Amino acid sequence: MFDKIIAYSIQNKFVIGLLVIALIIWGIFSLRQIPIDAVPDITNNQVQVITISPTLATLEVEQFITTPVELSLQNIQQLVEIRSISRFGLSVVTVVFEENMDLYLARQLVGEYLKEAEDNIPDGVGTPEMAPISTGLGEIYQYVIRPKEGYEEQYPATELRTIQDWIVSRQLSGIEGVVEVNTMGGFLKQYEVAVNPNLLKSIGISITDVYDALQNSNENTGGAYIEKNPNTYYIRTNGVVKSLTDIENIVVDVRSGRPILIKDVATVQFGKAPRYGALTRNGEEAVGGRVMMLKGANSAAVTDRVKERVVQIQKSLPEGVVIEPYLVRDKMVSTASGTGETNLLEGGLNVSGRLV
């Protein structure tokens, strides 16, 4: 049989040459498609359930959130273990499955059983949610958003955080292989209504009245339509607040025909949400983000897509603001690959020298 193959190869050199070229092209293409990473991801097959409850201490988080979630997940099949962490305002339950369990099926089962847990958690305490499909090695791109020299006063940390949340993060979402974009640093901008208790008491208005007025006066409503041949007029009210002045002019109550406005009993201002950490660059306050990769995705390919999108996002940023990456996964991959190639080459030369 081998004699026939050798004879055919000698007699049909052109065909054999084409097959060899095709195999070389296919090999190069396959080599480029291999997902190469700096370090192997050995994370087990797991689903995390996260519940945020800022009003509860550690003991109450364990009692009212973590325990109901764990009990509701006990009957899932192909389960290896359930472990949990309860902290002030935070509950994290990790459900580990067998390696042959499909991850998306596992998440579907966890989502179904979480409905039972939600019924056992007190109202207003918190809602369990599944973490994105990523791992500790999913951080492929980290960056800071900073003002250029001369624009520092124009873009404080609060303004940079707003740019990150509303411009950069939204455009980075939707890239193939990206499951989440996390924000770090800065201050979350808030509209604050600082109520004066003495004014409320003197007028006879409770804090509940102020809260209800703010809640009920910040929405759009529809009023159907009016037909007036040959036209039809659609009716709607635009009540969403758009500025501090709109909040100040919300009516809380009417006394003796005179409306009592928010600005009569409170001070409306911009504020900052409480935070538990910060991001610094060269010892100064900074704002940044972290791009998380889908578990099992090709880190090099996903990083290339993120870098291309960052170039587009840079064009849409306000003048004087730049995105500066400081951790990019493809640099780690290329460094690790280069180290491996160098070691193999030196090892091969060493062995060859010893054999000679």
Q: Select the more confidently predicted residue: 237 or 148.
A: 148
Please state which CATH number belongs to domain 139-188+274-335: 3.30.70.1320
Lowest mean pLDDT among 78-87, 122-131, 273-282: 273-282
**Looking up tokens 């689903």, which residue turns up?**
47
Please state which CATH number belongs to domain 46-130: 3.30.70.1430
- The pLDDT, as a whole number, for residue 38 is 66
Region 6-24 average pLDDT: 82
- The pLDDT, as a whole number, for residue 310 is 95
Angle, CA 268 vertex, CA 247 and CA 265 arms, to 5°? 90
- The pLDDT of residue 122 is above 70: yes
- The pLDDT of residue 235 is above 90: no
- The pLDDT of residue 314 is above 90: yes
Please state which CATH number belongs to domain 191-269: 3.30.2090.10
Which residues contact residue 75 at a Cβ distance below 8 angstroms, ignoring those fewer than 6 apart?
113
- The pLDDT of residue 172 is above 70: yes
Q: Is 257 exposed, middle or buried (0-12, 13-18, 19+ CB in 10 A)?
A: exposed
Q: Is 205 helix (H, G, I), strand (E, B) or coil?
A: coil
Give the whole-number percent of the chain exceeding pLDDT 70. 95
Residue 201 region, left (φ>0) first, then alpha (ψ -120 to 50), else beta?
A: alpha
Compute the mean pLDDT over every residue in the chain, rounded to the nearest whole number: 88
Tokens (6 digits) for 72: 């509701």
Least Cα distance to 91 among 111, 68, 72, 113 occurs for: 68
- The pLDDT of residue 337 is above 70: no
Q: Select the more confidently predicted residue: 173 or 224.
A: 173
Least Cα distance to 92 among 131, 55, 122, 56 occurs for: 131
pLDDT tier, 355 (very low <50, low <70, confident <90, very high otherwise): low
- The pLDDT, as a whole number, for residue 274 is 85
Least Cα distance to 291 among 316, 333, 331, 326 occurs for: 326
Contact (CB, 8 A) for 277 and 128: no
pLDDT digits (tens, 9 = 90+) for 239-270: 888 889 999 999 999 888 889 999 999 999 99
* Domain assignments of the chain as residue spans, ordered by start: 46-130, 139-188+274-335, 191-269
Q: Do domains 46-130 and 139-188+274-335 have the same CATH topology?
A: yes
- The pLDDT, as a whole number, for residue 266 is 92
- The pLDDT, as a whole number, for residue 220 is 81
pLDDT digits (tens, 9 = 90+) for 66-94: 999 999 999 999 999 999 999 999 999 99
Burial pattern 216-226, b for ≥16 Cβ within 10 A else e, equals: ebeeeeeeeee
